[in-house]
Structure 1
């Protein structure tokens, strides 16, 4: 199918390189350059270029549309115009990774050569292959493996390694015991975004089952609530 399309485009351009319009009016891609296209009206062609950083979407000849490369299948149209780069923008338009290699959770939206810094949602990194934010495991960007993770005000941050639960299955939202409080614990949303958790009154966190449990089932926390009551009575006295 791709070979047939390439052959058709070659016939349209002809041996001289001059684009030959088909009978119908519309917008047609150049056979070799993805950001170059032609406007055909009554058999006459007008050459046009997408804004630098965008490419021509050839899915429908009735519509004139330029889009970011991640949204367009250029197929064999691999050539592009000379880049109009500026600091932070490899090309004048589009989405690009941040100029700071440590800022994996940020990216630039370049508009006419001006970079606009944007953040990814918590826990995500910018994947420049897809021009969007993604979870590290779903991203093709492996240089961010050691990127700085979010941490809470008490210093807790989610570990790098996967946490396995009962049956050896990876826990999607692993939890961890608080070092000083039996009723408190930490949650790592999608394994990377830390949050604080608190058991319902009367229960304490059991790190063996990754869930809140009766105090008598958690060594060292059996008298957790008894201690609390004694402290209250001492303060009243």
Structure 2
């Protein structure tokens, strides 16, 4: 008899704790979206299921961004749009794999300033900054070199830190070195880049006739500028499923 009363008392205590835990955040069953953020932890959220509030975890390294937002299942990178601001914190510890501090995220390369890693479910994919840009650890994207601390000058500009350098076989595009860092430039209309004088001149030159008005696929790829949103690469594992952590 005493054992039965003790067990009933324990169940009552657990039930009251569950009610208190749920009371600390908005009731998702009263929300129009049926999903709400946890009030303490960025990487947790609540969803209404069968009239009950159920807690979920975002994939490791991501935080709750709102229903139909983020890179997957309403979760996004913590640094994007300030989804994880003080006093909220991430409660789940990082799960690291090769090149990845968390299972999901964007991380700097160990040995290169022009490369970085995108991690999706623990699988790292190497990415390359083009157009003379370097990876900015703070912005989590490719950026102008002067905004990136700790990287060496680009080898393209070794001979002249403020000179011009030919771009492959292109007739109207070239590298312009500024303080040791290259920036992609285009000659004005109807001019071509002269590899001898290293400036834009009236054609023809030894290598180029009248320039075309269209870009080659290589030039289109290299015509990249900071501030553009990064495209999320395709990943072999596809979209991750939600990690459920019922309370």
Query: TM-score when scaled to structure 1?
Result: 0.55
Larger radius of gyration: 1
| Deviation at residue 148 of structure 1 after TM alignment | 4.6
The number of residue pairs the alignment matches comes to 162
Q: Which ranges of structure 2 fall in alignment gaps of 5 or more residues?
A: 1-16, 166-173, 185-191, 203-247
| Distance change (3 Å), C-alpha of 1:55 and 1:149 | same
Q: 1:55 aligns with which of 48, 60, 63?
A: 63
1:198 equivalenced with 2:203 (yes/no): no
- C-alpha deviations, 1:75-109, integer Å up to 9, x for none? 23222311110121100111100122xx0100011
| Deviation at residue 158 of structure 1 after TM alignment | 5.0
Distance in structure 2 (CA, Å) of the matches to 1:151 and 1:193? 7
Kept in 2: contact 1:29–1:58 (CA 8 A)? yes
| Deviation at residue 211 of structure 1 after TM alignment | 7.6
Structure 2 partner of 1:82 = 93
Q: 1:27 aligns with which of 15, 35, 42?
A: 35
Query: TM-score when scaled to structure 2?
Result: 0.53
Distance in structure 2 (CA, Å) of the matches to 1:121 and 1:53? 26
Structure 1 partner of 2:229 = none
Kept in 1: contact 2:26–2:36 (CA 8 A)? no
| Deviation at residue 60 of structure 1 after TM alignment | 7.4
| Deviation at residue 187 of structure 1 after TM alignment | 4.7
Give the RMSD, CA atoms, in angstroms. Answer: 3.8
Bigger relative contact order (CA 8 A; separation at least 6): 2
SS at match of 2:118: strand
Distance in structure 1 (CA, Å) of the matches to 2:132 and 2:175? 13
